[in-house]
């Protein structure tokens, strides 16, 4: 299933289809896996525009006797694409009843209502879809159409403004994603100047990206450019005050400048912001050890050692017994 998703993301339709059909053909596979594979196959056919194949793949999901919310949603989308609005509204309505927190089902139902000319119902469904998923371009753009047809020009204009903002944000993410990934790779390989240039290019495209500000600050810290590191990290925290990574990195800057009270305060804020992060405890232990506060050192050392397994990638070495970390 993971391989099929990867193929689909890379638009390798044939490979994704073969992989999903292999799952369906497994004699000893779990029924839940086969259902997920069939659902993914329906979505794959819908993405490729093969409506007949999508309908054939979806039929067994509906004929189970107790179709799931996902099966109802897929059947509704197939019916909508085929122009069968009555079936589409019925299936999608049932999907929203079974899974009221699914924004995709509400958005699809809103489209079916819109196509059927049931504008008030379309507005309600699309508003619910936007409430559940404020980043849904489908819901917001179609809300603008519904409001316009209902004679609500102010609401239509507001929806258009929201849609343009969502579109621009998505465009920026598509541009900055590869840049950020290359910068992270350069940082991990020790190519610090290249990494800094990459994160600064991200910030050129997205000037208020707190993650990129923190990442740039980390690189500047590694380069021992403390003034610039501090400025970048402080700006990140102005946008996202409780980011534990930013707080921890700024605490390191303060510690290097021998401002240990400020470093301790920042690290304690980081712990409160993210109790599962091991790094703040690591640096707290180091400061306490340097101050001769053995009990505090042992407490933070223990917390670090217990939490480090939760870290996505633990790059800090274990604290030695009684030595400066």
Q: What is the pLDDT of residue 222?
A: 93
The continuous run of DSSP H or E covering 108 comes out as helix 103-115
Measured in Å, how far apart are the chain's first and last C-alpha atoms?
43
pLDDT in tens, 159-171: 999 999 888 878 7
Sequence-distant (6+) residues with CB within 8 A of 247 are 237, 266, 267, 269, 270, 273, 280
pLDDT in tens, 275-311: 989 999 999 999 999 999 999 999 999 999 988 864 4
CA-wise closest residue to 143 among 120, 170, 171, 166? 120
Domain boundaries 2-163, CATH class: mainly alpha
The answer to whether 2-163 and 244-325 have equal CATH topology is: yes
Half-sphere exposure of 98 (CA within 13 A, CB side): 16
Q: What is the pLDDT of residue 311?
A: 47
What's the pTM?
Answer: 0.57
Longest dimension (CA), the chain: 76
Low-confidence residues in the chain, pLDDT < 70: 1-13, 27-30, 309-325
What are the extents of the domains in the chain?
2-163, 164-241, 244-325
Fold category of 164-241 in CATH: 1.25.40
Q: What is the pLDDT of residue 205?
A: 87
- Would you tell me which CATH number, out of the four given (1.10.760.10, 1.25.40.10, 2.60.40.10, 2.40.30.10), belongs to the domain 244-325? 1.25.40.10
Q: What is the pLDDT of residue 18?
A: 80
Count CB atoms within 10 A of the CB of residue 29: 13
């Amino acid at each position: 299933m993971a391989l099929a998703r990867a193929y689909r993301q890379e638009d390798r339709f044939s490979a994704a289809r073969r992989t999903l059909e292999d799952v369906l053909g497994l004699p000893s596979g779990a029924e839940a896996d086969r259902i997920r594979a069939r659902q993914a196959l329906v979505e794959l056919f819908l993405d490729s525009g093969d409506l007949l194949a999508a309908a054939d793949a979806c039929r067994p999901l509906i004929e189970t006797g107790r179709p799931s919310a996902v099966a109802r949603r897929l059947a509704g989308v197939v019916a909508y694409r085929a122009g069968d609005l009555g079936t589409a509204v019925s299936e999608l309505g049932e999907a929203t009843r079974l899974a009221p927190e699914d924004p995709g089902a509400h958005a699809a139902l809103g489209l079916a209502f819109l196509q059927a000319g049931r504008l008030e119902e379309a507005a309600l469904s699309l508003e619910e879809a936007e409430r559940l998923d404020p980043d849904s371009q489908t819901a917001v753009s179609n809300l603008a159409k519904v409001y316009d047809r209902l004679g609500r020009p102010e609401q239509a204009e507001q929806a258009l403004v929201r849609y343009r903002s969502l579109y621009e944000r998505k465009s920026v993410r598509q541009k900055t994603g590869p840049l950020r990934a290359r910068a992270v790779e350069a940082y991990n390989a020790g190519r610090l100047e290249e990494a800094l240039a990459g994160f600064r290019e991200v910030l050129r495209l997205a000037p208020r990206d707190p993650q990129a500000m923190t990442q740039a600050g980390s690189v500047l810290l590694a380069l021992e450019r403390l003034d610039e590191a501090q400025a970048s990290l402080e700006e990140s925290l102005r946008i996202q005050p409780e980011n534990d990574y930013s707080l921890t990195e700024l605490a390191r800057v303060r510690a290097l400048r021998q401002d240990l009270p400020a470093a301790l305060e920042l690290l304690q804020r980081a712990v409160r912001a993210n109790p599962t992060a091991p790094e703040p405890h690591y640096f707290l232990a180091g400061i306490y050890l340097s101050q001769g506060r053995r009990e505090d050192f042992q407490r933070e050392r223990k917390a670090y050692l217990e939490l480090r397994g939760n870290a996505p990638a633990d790059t800090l070495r274990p604290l030695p017994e009684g030595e400066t970390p």
